[in-house]
Every structure is written in structure tokens, then in C-alpha cells.
Structure 1
């Protein structure tokens, strides 16, 4: 298994300090070397993940930013990242791996659920949140992720009771989990193992959401 080196983190750190096309052009050979290296690392993680879950695809994200509709006109991301999609339609949820100097993390969940999926999740929670509550209260979940994360509405969604006992979960727009890693942890020979352990810790949450999103409120399959 490939081990991430200080060279990779140093490149990303320098890019953050020199986020312009001139510096990038002068360091293009360094970038190509790091790109090849990190691509192999991400693919090896994907291969290992595929042995413990059904993975539909691996997506390695480009370092070039799309600045057309953004106020931030910096041309480059200052991280290397990849996503791993579970096989639909039965399995839902996606894994994410982010390598950045002093800001690396592993994440997963439902970043931008479509309107139909978001409503279905909220309706399930409204009906009975006990199973989800049990999952996020588990010792393993709390150890790796702390709590369920994601953007929230300031109040209840339309047609939901603002006084519902589980309104804290209902008003979420995203359902995410993340675990941060220090540079020391990223450079460790066991970093790949910690990534996979963290991904595995997401499974009860993913399996719950998969069950919700493939059934109706009566528990009947919709696929």
C-alpha cells in the first residue's frame, strides 16, 4: 500500500500560499508527479473498500476550480480528494476522502439529497426516529464522528411540526459524518487502515438510510 509522504502535503501547502497560474505552471512537473501518486493511493483505497462494500465507482476530483459562478476566483483547490459511490439502487450513501495540509478528513453521507429523498428521510424521522437515534448514540459512531452533521434549516420544514421531539433531525438539509486527521496521522503507515475502519463505522448509518430510501412509510419496497 502506498504511504502518503511529506512531499505531498508540502506541495499542497505551497499551492495554498501561491494559488496562481504562474506558480502552478512553474511547478507543473511536481503537480503531475503528485497527481500520479495520489491517484494510485485513491484507487488502492477504492479497491480495498470494494472488498468490504459494494462500490459502483471511484471519482477522483480535479484540482482545477470552476470559478465561473463563484466569488472565489482562485484557480486551484488546495487539496486532493476522491469519492466512492455505493451501488444503487439498493445501496445509498457515498464515501469521501480529502487530503489537505493540516485539514485532511474522511467523510460520508448525503451531501445534497434530492427533494424526494430529503422528504422521505424527514417523514421517516417524523414517524419514528428511534433507530436513527440508536445508531448515532452508539459508542463507535460517537468515537469516530462525534455527532451527525450537516446544514440545517433555522426552523421546521414546511408541513412539519416545529415542536416535534425530533425536529433537530428533521430540519437537517444534509446528513453527514466526518472524521478529521492530523498531518501526523496522514503520514502514518497505518493511515489506509484508519480510512477503511472509518468507512466501516459509517455502515450502520448508511444501511439505515438505504432501507429508508428504498421503501415507503409502510416498509414496502419501492424499487
Structure 2
């Protein structure tokens, strides 16, 4: 199972013609592209289930919520899917976005609630060596480089934390995400599903460590 070139072509055309009339005139092409994306996302879900437990796979709607946005274009010029891990014991989630020139996958903790974020920061404050170890792991670096992305960072230390702490770069993060970008040629490759799956596999030490952190207190006692 793989992406068709016609799917990327449709998304590129939608980017150039993001209006309701064009969308309606090309509805059949949209449905074919959507079907292709659903099939690839489902194939990735099946692969994920061989090495993780996925609670929910969700393909995002193409319709944009423009109520509170300055951008009033009605459609997302991409297809995307999220895969949520099972329950309280398996924390974190996977994400995949297909957009011409901007395709990417990600995994981790996008916007942890304040309790989870505080717990992660306390772990970093006490000992960041295991988290640093994830970033130095050759398999992690192969797919994701040597740093976590974040949807935002504080300009200084979080309240109650030392701004001179040696792990201040980690303490300032509002989330912890690993990201891998893909070219259009890589997306259209017959090996794409496998590449995505191997990337997700490389996240397991990251997920396992953070799940352990969020399931225990600072004394290592289970919170479940």
C-alpha cells in the first residue's frame, strides 16, 4: 500500500484553489485521494499494532474551523492522521501529515496538561541523564536528530525552577516531540509505510521512559 501521485497532485491543486466552488467541482477527485490516504493510514495502523497498542486511529477532517482564524480558506491542503496509545499506562501519541513539500511525522507529547508537564520538569530537574540518553541514542538520531521539538518554549525558567539549571533547555519546553520530515519522492515510495513504521519503532525508548515518569512519583512509587 502506498500513496498515489494523484493524491499529492490533488492536494497541490487544492492549495492553489482553496475555495468551495473548486472543491465541489472536484469532489470525485477528492474522494479518490481521501480513499487512498485512508488506506495508507490504515496500513500504518496495522503495522503499529505489531509493536505497540493503539487505542484510537483518527483521520482529521479536511474542513477547517475558520470561526476564530484570520485565514478564512475553508479546507486543509493536507491529509493527516493521529494514533493514540492505549490508556493511562501507555502515554504519548503518533502523528502523520501528508502535504506536498511539507510532509512529516511526529511522536511524543504535544501539549501535556499542567500536571504532566510539571512532573516531567521535576524529573528533568532531579536527573536529566536518561532523557539526554534518548537524544544520544543512534537509532533515535537516525530518524529524528538529537533534539526534541516543542510547540513553544518559555523565555526563562518555569516558575519555581532554577534559571541556571544545566538542563534549562529541556525545562523551558512546553512539549516534547520528535519530528521527521519527508520529501514528496519519499512519500510516494513503495517503502513509505515501512519507513514510517520504523520511525515509530525508534520512539519506543522515548515513550517507555516518559510513560514510566508519568506513572510514578519522584520516589518511583506507582501512581496507578
Pairwise same-fold verdict (TM > 0.5): yes
Q: Which residue of 1 aligns with 2:138?
A: 139
1:13-33, Cα deviation, whole Å (9 max, x unpaired): 000001111110111111111
> Where does the alignment leave 5 or more consecutive residues of structure 1 unmatched?
none
- Pairing of 1:204-223 with structure 2 (within 5 A): 204-223=205-224
Question: Matched residues in 2 for 1:24 and 1:120: separation?
Answer: 46
Match of 2:36 in 1: 37
**2:148 matched to 1:148?**
yes
Q: Could you tell me whether the CA contact under 8 Å between 2:92 and 2:207 is conserved in 1?
A: yes
Q: Does 1:93 align with 2:92?
A: yes
What SS does structure 1 have at the residue aligned with 2:96? strand
Q: What is residue 77 of structure 2 aligned with on the other side? A: 78
Aligned residue in 2 for 1:68: 67
RMSD, matched Cα: 0.8
User: Corresponding residue for 2:116?
Assistant: 117
- In structure 2, runs of 5+ residues without a counterpart are none
Give, in whole Å, the separation in 2 of the partners of 1:88 and 1:128.
Answer: 26
Output the TM-score relative to the length of structure 2: 0.97
Residue 190 (structure 2) pairs with residue 182 (structure 1): no
Q: Displacement, 1:57?
A: 0.8
In structure 2, the residue matched to 1:171 is: 172
In the aligned structure 2, how far is the partner of 1:41 from the partner of 1:3? Answer: 6
Q: How many residues align?
A: 222
Tell me if the contact between 2:215 and 2:223 (Cα under 8 Å) persists in the aligned partners.
yes
Q: Deviations over 1:125-177 (max 9, x none)?
A: 00110000011111111221112111211100101100011111011001001
1:69 Cα deviation (Å)? 1.2
TM-score by length of 1: 0.98
